[in-house]
Amino acid sequence: MDEIVIEGGARLKGEVRISGSKNAALPILASTILAPGTSTIYNVPDLIDIKTMGKLLNHLGAKVDIETGRVNVDVTNIKNPEAPYELVKTMRASVLVLCPLVARMGEANVSLPGGCAIGARPINLHLMGLEKMGARVEIEHGYVKVKAKRLRGSRIYLDIPTVTGTENLMMAATLADGTTIIENAACEPEVSDLAEALKKMGARIEGAGENIITIEGVDSLKPINYSVIPDRIEAGTFMVAGAITKGSIKIKDCIPGHFDAVMAKIKETGVEITEEDGGLRVKGVKSPKAVDLKTMPYPGFPTDMQAQMMALMTVAEGMSVITETIFENRFMHVAELKRMGADIKVEGNTAIVHGVPYLSGAPLMATDLRASASLIIAGLAAKGKTTLSRAYHIDRGYEKIEEKLSALGARIKRERE
Ligand code: EPU
């Protein structure tokens, strides 16, 4: 297993290019199932999760060819509507093949994802939506078995604006008989990007990116060439890395409108963010001010940036109150940050962070993707050496992170444990 070794204290400077979005690429790759033939998806990041989705599509009978930045998926011969436990347990987003399989083949047999490090994460709303569309849903031996000759359009209200739930049901509705209306839908940019890809296939979708999405079912969809949006969470992560090292970096190839809430909070600390041709310049300040934040569905502050922002707050001036409202166990980074000298108290879903003058490097353990990003950010600013073991967590969602940070002047390398 690899570990990431960081010698803290270097100010980041230079430019970094943001990769394609993991959470947009995954549903778009799953959506290719809906359109017999070969689709080519561009700007796909080189990540473990993308390889897992490739393996899963392969298992279903697709031919998948992954090259740098490009994935070809030939779904002509999809014949096995089963997502096995071995793949679902390594990546929950495997559940995104559920609705495309039902829509295309009339059935799916998908292992139920268990809980994960950050929360229980049930898929009851995905299943409720499918039942409303006329599918028969049964749970047996840890698998959800869904059957429907042809799904029918329906009005579906989501109790929670679930991201992958909205994506799954939107995909199901594209080939259903009649009109589907998804109310209280997730508005994340990744949902809109999937809708754009589906529309290019010939789907009729209105309102994606808003909380009511209307989908008019069509008889068939055709394969596409499509380029995925940049990763707003990677962009936010580099911004915080620039801020915590008091650096000056340019974030290139991002869509600033996708992370307004993150930029607003970073600016509130006193850090400067300005538009510069083809990107955003982030300039750190001597003493960033503590700010409070609460995670919310889009366009609120993203839960996927909470851990990274907490790292910045550990060395900010004053007290910060951070409330996590999306997942029930997303403070796994707290114990590790405390081992670096951070002053954090957790009460329920709230963390109270008192800024300290500095963090000190320590051996740390990665527990999940965004917690790992938080610990790397903390390590960049800490005095001395930080080693982060179980680096595979970071490789699930950040393309070549140590190469990108090294190019910005960070003293960071990967070693075999
Ligand atoms: N929920 C239910 N029932 C459902 C679905 C969700 O109760 O049927 C609950 C969840 O347990 C959670 C809340 O609703 O408490 C929101 O979960 P959501 O379904 O929106 O999350 P997700 O679709 O499983 C995606 C991202 C996550 C990101 C969340 C929230 C992908 C592949 N994953 O997960 O990304 O944190 O939305 O924005 O898009 C990451 O990249 O590190 C990551 C975890």
Q: What are the pLDDT tens digits along the chain (417 aa)?
A: 899 999 999 999 999 999 999 999 999 999 999 999 999 999 999 999 999 999 999 999 999 999 999 999 999 999 999 999 999 999 999 999 999 999 999 999 999 987 678 887 899 999 999 999 999 999 999 999 999 999 999 999 999 999 999 999 999 999 999 999 999 999 999 999 999 999 999 999 999 999 999 999 999 999 999 999 999 999 999 999 999 999 999 999 999 999 999 999 999 999 999 999 889 999 999 999 999 999 999 999 999 999 999 999 999 999 999 999 999 999 999 999 999 999 999 999 999 999 999 999 999 998 999 999 999 999 999 999 999 999 999 999 999 999 999 999 999 999 987
Please report where in the chains the tokens 């070549």 appear, as a residue.
400
Q: Ligand 1: which residues within 6 Å by Cβ?
A: 23, 26, 93, 119-126, 160, 162-165, 186, 190, 302-304, 326-327, 369-370, 397
Axis crossing angle, helix 306-313 with helix 260-268, rounded to the nearest 10: 10
Residue nearest to atom 36 of ligand 1 (CA): 304
CA dihedral (261, 262, 266, 267) positive or negative: negative
Give the per-residue pLDDT at 178.
98
Would you state the structure tokens that stand for residue 201, as one six-digit string? Answer: 């296939």
**How far apart, in whole angstroms, are the C-alpha atoms of residue 367 and residue 120?**
15
Give the per-residue pLDDT at 179.
98
**How far apart, in whole angstroms, are the C-alpha atoms of residue 157 and residue 129?**
8
Atom of ligand 1 nearest to the CA of 304: 36
Centroid of ligand 1 to alpha carbon of 211 (angstroms): 16
Q: What is the CA 1 to chain-centroid distance, rounded?
A: 23
Give the per-residue pLDDT at 115.
67
Strands (E) in 167-323, as ranges, are 179-183, 204-206, 212-216, 225-227, 248-252, 272-276, 279-283, 293-294, 319-323
Q: Is 279 within 8 Å of 251 (Cβ atoms)?
A: yes
CA dihedral (10, 11, 17, 23) positive or negative: positive
Beta bridge partners of residue 41, listed in sequence order: 71, 226
Rounded to the nearest 5 percent, the helix, strand and coil shares of the chain are 35, 30, 35
Peptide bond into 363 cis (omega under 30): no
Q: At 111, is the secondary structure helix, strand, or coil?
A: strand
How does strand 293-294 pair with strand 319-323? parallel
- The preferred substitution site among 163, 193, 305, 328 for testing ligand 1, maximizing ligand atoms within 8 Å of CB, is 163
**How far apart, in whole angstroms, are the C-alpha atoms of residue 91 and residue 395?**
13
Active-site residue numbers? 116
Centroid of ligand 1 to alpha carbon of 27 (angstroms): 13
Atom of ligand 1 nearest to the CA of 120: 11
Please report where in the chains the tokens 């490090």 appear, as a residue.
117
Amino acid at 326: I
Amino acid at 413: K
231 φ, ψ to 5°?
-85, 110
Residue 2: count of CB within 10 angstroms of its CB: 16
45: CB partners within 8 A, 6+ apart: 19, 20, 21, 22, 25, 231, 399
Atom of ligand 1 nearest to the CA of 162: 20
Considering only the C-alpha atoms of the chain, give the largest distance between any 2 of them, rounded to a whole number of Å. 63
Q: At 215, is the secondary structure helix, strand, or coil?
A: strand
Residue nearest to atom 40 of ligand 1 (CA): 304
Residue nearest to atom 16 of ligand 1 (CA): 162
Give the per-residue pLDDT at 333.
97
**How far apart, in whole angstroms, are the C-alpha atoms of residue 199 and residue 224?**
10
8: CB partners within 8 A, 6+ apart: 359, 361, 379, 380, 381, 382, 383, 384, 385, 386, 411
Nearest residue to 251 via CA among 1, 17, 56, 19: 17
Centroid of ligand 1 to alpha carbon of 262 (angstroms): 18
Give CA angle at 394 (26, 277), nearest 5°. 75
Residue nearest to atom 18 of ligand 1 (CA): 162
Centroid of ligand 1 to alpha carbon of 118 (angstroms): 10
- The preferred substitution site among 160, 191, 372 for testing ligand 1, maximizing ligand atoms within 8 Å of CB, is 160
- The preferred substitution site among 49, 91, 164 for testing ligand 1, maximizing ligand atoms within 8 Å of CB, is 164
Q: Is 374 within 8 Å of 333 (Cβ atoms)?
A: yes
Residue 257: count of CB within 10 angstroms of its CB: 10
Residue nearest to atom 17 of ligand 1 (CA): 162
